[in-house]
Amino acid sequence: MQFDIAVIGGGPGGSSTAISAARAGLRVVLFEKAQYGRDKVCGDGLTPRAIGALNDLNIDHSISHRIDGLRMIAGKKQRELSWPTTDRFPNHGAVWPRKKFDNHLLDIAIESGADVRFTAEALPVIEDGVVIGVEVNGEVIRASLVVLATGAQGAAAKMLGAVRDPDETFGLAIRAYAPTPRHAERHLEACLSLRDEHGTPVPGYGWMFPAGDGTVNIGVGALSTMKGFKKLNLNTLLDQYASIVREPWSLGEYVDKPRAWRLPMSCVRRHGPGWVAVGDAAGFVNPMNGEGIDYALESGMLAVQCFIDNPATAPSSYDTQVGERFDAFLRTGRRFSFIIGHPWLLRPGLRVAVGTQVAADITLAVMGNLIDSTTPGAAGKVMRLADNALRIADPILRRTRAKA
Ligand SMILES: Cc1cc2nc3c(=O)[nH]c(=O)nc-3n(C[C@H](O)[C@H](O)[C@H](O)COP(=O)(O)OP(=O)(O)OC[C@H]3O[C@@H](n4cnc5c(N)ncnc54)[C@H](O)[C@@H]3O)c2cc1C
């Protein structure tokens, strides 16, 4: 059977592709290598931007745990912030554990008419440089467009050259669940002043994301721009962070073993004849906060829209349009990550970021990509300024980057 779209991967990127395609009446098949009900290592945090994307996808998110803002902590400073009110995004986020969230999306894909197959590892089939479909268990399934939604880049991505740029930033993060009486709180908590076991400031943050189900998602994430990144022990970093939050959160023991995974923040190739990459497979993780769910949802929807507009030009028009939407912001984020990789820039930067309520509000809006360069107001101006300054400073930032 010939499909319009074959999707490889059943995370938010793959599901949003399958849902949009099926609802538009396209013949779509999705292959997920795991069994139905798989979990994904994640903080489970949805920003207002991600809630906006779920609204665009027409997904009811009322069963998730609503979040109204962020408690930002740097050293002894704490600020409780509400999500910004903008015309573009709702003013609330959510925590939605991925085991439930991803399966919810896959259920909707199936209800919408997508052919979803589990325990099905798929690889692209390339003929004369064109991806003509996928191979699953020795069977070739043809499709006009193959959507690579495989998450942090693996075998399928390598075949297509959709790999990380070795000169660019990436992240690593680890998470666990633990019981807490504060599980129903409506604020995420982020500690921006993490230190490793040698006392070196870590560019990244520790998080407490209350899930509303008796537990909190606790985790730490770090950017590759710090000195000694290769030696960083995430388990130790998590335990250290847990020792700080244990008392204020009356934290119980981890429910399961902490699990770590990669955060891809670049990709040298995200389209080609017959294929496009979405979500993590395309390197769409925000270097300023490690968020990737929204980008996966948005890029999946966009890929389908490009196919509907014109199947023949879908890969190149997707590349252009997704670039217009994300590239400038993600580039600025990566440049920013070089700056905070230097402890002597990170510390004063944090003092400014949380120094006043106004500065902290701007930091939240900028980090969450809840503004863009055309947004009026202080956050928009800061973003424009940062864009320009970081563009000029880029060569110096790269030359002086902290060596891993
Ligand atoms: C510790 C941690 C915390 C994070 N916290 C947050 C957060 O709080 N908020 C946020 O927005 N983002 C967070 N992220 C990032 C977020 O998890 C990812 O950006 C998001 O999952 C990307 O979705 P995706 O659909 O692109 O990929 P994934 O969710 O990784 O899904 C890819 C799927 O493809 C399947 N697959 C892979 N290869 C094949 C194949 N060959 N055939 C078939 N199936 C295949 C995999 O089994 C997987 O199910 C976090 C990441 C980490 C590691």
Summarised one tens digit per residue, pLDDT across range 176-196 is: 999 999 999 999 999 999 998
249 CA to middle of ligand 1, Å? 28
State the average pLDDT for the chain.
93
* Residue 120 alpha carbon, nearest atom of ligand 1: 43
37 CA to middle of ligand 1, Å? 14
Give yes or no for residue 288 having a pLDDT over 80: yes
280 CA to middle of ligand 1, Å? 6
Architecture of domain 171-262: 2-Layer Sandwich (3.30)
Is 364's C-beta closer than 6 angstroms to any atom of ligand 1?
no
Hey, which of 7, 15, 17, 33 would you mutate to test ligand 1's pocket, going by the most ligand atoms within 8 Å of its Cβ? 33
Instruction: Give the pLDDT of residue 337.
Output: 86
Give yes or no for residue 155 having a pLDDT over 60: yes
Q: Whose CA is nearest to atom 4 of ligand 1?
A: 42
Instruction: Give the pLDDT of residue 372.
Output: 56
* Residue 173 alpha carbon, nearest atom of ligand 1: 1
Please compute the mean of the pLDDT values over residues 159-168 and round it to a whole number.
94
Is 41's C-beta closer than 6 angstroms to any atom of ligand 1?
yes
Instruction: Give the pLDDT of residue 165.
Output: 94
Higher pLDDT, 371 or 134: 134
11 CA to middle of ligand 1, Å? 6
Is 11's C-beta closer than 6 angstroms to any atom of ligand 1?
yes
40 CA to middle of ligand 1, Å? 6
**Topology agreement, domain 2-69+94-165+264-330 and domain 171-262:** no
Q: 337-353, pLDDT tens digit by residue?
A: 888 888 777 878 888 88
- CA atoms within a 13 Å half-sphere pointing along the CA-CB vector of 240: 21
* Residue 281 alpha carbon, nearest atom of ligand 1: 26
**What's the angle, vertex CA 154, arms to CA 261 and CA 158, rounded to 5?**
145
User: Domain segments of the chain: what residues?
Assistant: 2-69+94-165+264-330, 171-262, 332-399
165 CA to middle of ligand 1, Å? 19
* Residue 280 alpha carbon, nearest atom of ligand 1: 26
Is 156's C-beta closer than 6 angstroms to any atom of ligand 1?
yes
Is 293's C-beta closer than 6 angstroms to any atom of ligand 1?
yes
What secondary structure, in 3-state letters, does the chain show? CEEEEEEECCCHHHHHHHHHHHHCCCCEEEECCCCCCCCCCCCCEECHHHHHHHHHCCCCCCCCEEECEEEEEECCEEEEEECCCCCCCCCCEEECCHHHHHHHHHHHHHHCCCEEECCCCEEEEEECCEEEEEEECCEEEEEEEEEECCCCCCHHHHHHCCCCCCCCCCEEEEEEEEECCCCCCCEEEEECCCECCCCCECCEEEEEEECCCCEEEEEEEEECCCCCHHHCCHHHHHHHHHHHHCCCCCCCCCCCCCEEEEECCCCCCCEECCEEECHHHHCCCCCCCCCCHHHHHHHHHHHHHHHHHCHHHHHHHHHHHHHHHHHHHHHHHHHHHHHHCCHHHHHHHHHHHHHCHHHHHHHHHHHCCCCCCCCCCHHHHHHHHHHHHHHHHHHHHHHCCCCC
Is 30's C-beta closer than 6 angstroms to any atom of ligand 1?
no
Instruction: Give the pLDDT of residue 203.
Output: 92
359 CA to middle of ligand 1, Å? 31
* Residue 262 alpha carbon, nearest atom of ligand 1: 53
pTM for the whole structure: 0.95
Residue 223 burial (CB count, 10 A): 27
Q: 82-130, pLDDT tens digit by residue?
A: 998 888 899 999 999 999 999 999 999 999 999 999 999 999 999 999 9
Tell me the pairing of strands 271-272 and 275-277: antiparallel
Q: How far is it, in rounded angstroms, from Cα 364 to Cα 64? A: 22
Instruction: Give the pLDDT of residue 294.
Output: 98
245 CA to middle of ligand 1, Å? 26
Architecture of domain 2-69+94-165+264-330: 3-Layer(bba) Sandwich (3.50)
Q: 46-67, pLDDT tens digit by residue?
A: 999 999 999 999 999 999 999 9
Contacting residues for 312 by C-beta, under 8 A, at least 6 apart: none
